[in-house]
Structure 1
Amino acid sequence: MGRHLLTIGQLFWWWWGIEQISNVGRSVGHYRGREIRNLIAVSPSGCPVSSLTLGSSANCPQSLTLLLCNARLVQNNSENIHDLILDEGADLVCITETWLEEAGGLVWSQLLPSGYSAEEQMRGRGQGGGMAVVYKSNISFTRIPVEVSDHIKCVYLSLGTRDRLGLLLVNQSSHCPTESLTEQTDLVSDLALESSRLLVLGYFNVHFGTNLSGVAQEFIAAMRTMGLSQEVSGPTQIAVHMLDLVFHSDQGGVPWVGTPVAFPLSWTDHHLVKLGLTITSSLCRGEGHIRMIPLGRFLMRFVDSLVFRPT
């Protein structure tokens, strides 16, 4: 026969939940035709959440800071990048031109601040190449392999557990722009079908500017046809070239990518590109939708959780 075990913590949650419902109900009114005083917000674990989230969900917009940085030999700039991540409060850092030919365990241990991890791609044959995505460790992602030729190198990540964000980081060190940009267009076309929110960014190694012509014009036109807009304006390199680009899908006209800002760095000839992303909290590990359930149902579950049934 079961017996009831009532702890101080459980009594607190019971009292707290009723108090929050009373307070919010008096000030808010109704939620989807129900009186809010008869509803309580619970997280996926079933515990009550802060009254500030009542009447909303885990899909409340949040802001992430993303940096795009052309490192030009990351092992010589590990301290600079470490400080840059902390100074800018970055959540995601896309690094191109790492020039690493093998797994850089020691490099990343020196570069990464506490609470950050990295997903890297080694450079291929020839000059330049190599890239990495540095991210806060609480961001959930899946790395998805993509088939490309030697003309381009890229890393594709699917971020989040729901409402996924596709992030394609490109490092174009090839001196065959026509072939590489054509292949990138085909790759983006496939990825755009898989993700309603797609971010394509990186080092494209083609001179883009206000007066587009040739292969650059064709590439921008193809990206626009797929519903991707290029947001960087102005030079991203000290030679007044725009080589680093940021494309994003339209997502039904809802703005989710802030205007990128480019500014020079003292330790590389490429500018840092900084932008904000408006995302949902489902990108973070362990978070999920907050549900509104009737207070009576919550109390029944709560009382049931107090019953200890021996095995």
Structure 2
Amino acid sequence: MLLLHPDTAPLLRRKYIHRGSRQNFHHDNSKPIPSFWSSSRHSSRISDRAVNHSVLASLTRSANTSVQSDSTGVNFGLLNIRSLTSKGHLVQDLLTDRKFDFLCLTETWQQPNDFSQLNDSTPSGFVYTCQPRESGRGGGLAVIYRENWKVSPLSVPVFSSFESVVCQLSGPVPTVIAVIYRPPKSTSVFISDFTDLLTHLATVSPNIILLGDFNIHMDNSNHPLTKDFSSCLDSLDFKQYVNFPTHTKGHTLDLVCCSGLAPLNCKADELLFSDHFLLSFNVKMTFSITKIPRTISFSEY
């Protein structure tokens, strides 16, 4: 029998111990060897390194943006200004003090290619669209509005019996805003021209706000022109909302006619620099709001 020196004897091979599973490991017929899986967490590493943004990637949650609707009150004003000359600061005060979103002016007396008076009347944060009278004296229309509203001009036919400036306010259902000035001695074709305008606007949107100085005595319901005008509005599903004086002589000349919308809190205030009253009202409108998708950043290692 060969005896081995303890120092030269081969070392016995250790049994294999499985680490990496909560299951017990069996070697042949040996007893189960308990798992050495640790249930304690490693302590968090403390690092003074700053985040390296160059290794961050952006992941967009979705390519589809969500669109919601929001109802907002929009403040309107209407005034026959009887010339903008030397009244720029007064118009600016009206816009800021009354918190108008839209101020519609008739009889600006603006000359073609002369925007100086309108520039003086437009405060910071507002813009305007206008239609001067092409020839002669008087007339002229302008709409001064807050620049955050998405407004685009709308082309309409030119009529000989009245002046008009028309724009469109964007939304799920666009709102047409048309400002009218009818001279006192308008031609007999006014009702025909006006009917054509309303018919044209109705093809653009069901929501229409039509306002201005019509020089029609709506306070005299027996006048033939008043009857014809009211009949024209009714036939095309428009309603006229001003039933009080708008002129210093007690007549109702400045009107607010709507289809698909209804003005609220319509009232008139007398001013010192015009023989027409300032009309003001509020309209509830629905606008679409697009929610921008969130961006999530993550580390690639």
Q: 1:145 Cα shift?
A: 1.6
CA contact (8 A) 2:246 2:276 kept: yes
Q: 2:110 aligns with which of 65, 86, 100?
A: 100
Aligned residues: 247
The letter of the residue matching 2:276 is: H
CA contact (8 A) 2:88 2:121 kept: yes
User: 3-state SS of the aligned residue for 1:157?
Assistant: strand
Q: Structure 2: which 5+ residue stretches go unaligned?
A: 1-53
Q: Deviations over 1:166-225 (max 9, x none)?
A: 111101125125322320121111211321101111011121115243022111111111
Q: 2:127 aligns with which of 117, 121, 144?
A: 117
More helix by share: 1
Structure 1's 174 and 210: CA in aligned 2 closer, same or farther, altered over 3 A? closer
Q: 2:167 aligns with which of 153, 157, 161?
A: 157
CA contact (8 A) 2:208 2:258 kept: yes
Q: 2:100 aligns with which of 90, 93, 107?
A: 90
1:5 and 2:11 correspond? no
CA contact (8 A) 1:154 1:168 kept: yes
1:266 and 2:266 correspond? no
Larger Rg: 2
Determine what percentage of the aligned residue pairs are the same residue: 25
CA distance in 1, matches of 2:63, 2:82: 44
Q: 1:73 Cα shift?
A: 0.5
User: 3-state SS of the aligned residue for 1:260?
Assistant: strand
Q: 1:68 aligns with which of 69, 78, 93?
A: 78
CA distance in 1, matches of 2:64, 2:137: 49
- 1:281 maps to which residue? 287
Structure 1's 179 and 58: CA in aligned 2 closer, same or farther, altered over 3 A? same
The letter of the residue matching 1:156 is: V
TM-score when normalising by structure 1: 0.72
Q: 1:307 Cα shift?
A: 7.9
User: 3-state SS of the aligned residue for 2:212?
Assistant: strand
The letter of the residue matching 2:269 is: F
CA distance in 2, matches of 1:153, 1:202: 10
Structure 1's 229 and 177: CA in aligned 2 closer, same or farther, altered over 3 A? farther
Q: 1:127 Cα shift?
A: 4.1
- 1:191 maps to which residue? 201
Q: Deviations over 1:115-138 (max 9, x none)?
A: 000101011334421010001001
Q: Deviations over 1:17-41 (max 9, x none)?
A: xxxxxxxxxxxxxxxxxxxxxxx9x
The letter of the residue matching 1:275 is: F
- 1:34 maps to which residue? none
CA contact (8 A) 1:177 1:215 kept: no
CA contact (8 A) 1:174 1:180 kept: no
CA contact (8 A) 2:65 2:290 kept: no
Q: 1:161 Cα shift?
A: 4.6
- 2:231 maps to which residue? 221
CA distance in 2, matches of 1:160, 1:43: 24
Q: 1:230 Cα shift?
A: 0.2
CA distance in 2, matches of 1:43, 1:177: 57
Structure 1's 59 and 175: CA in aligned 2 closer, same or farther, altered over 3 A? same
Structure 1's 134 and 258: CA in aligned 2 closer, same or farther, altered over 3 A? same
Backbone CA RMSD of aligned residues: 2.9
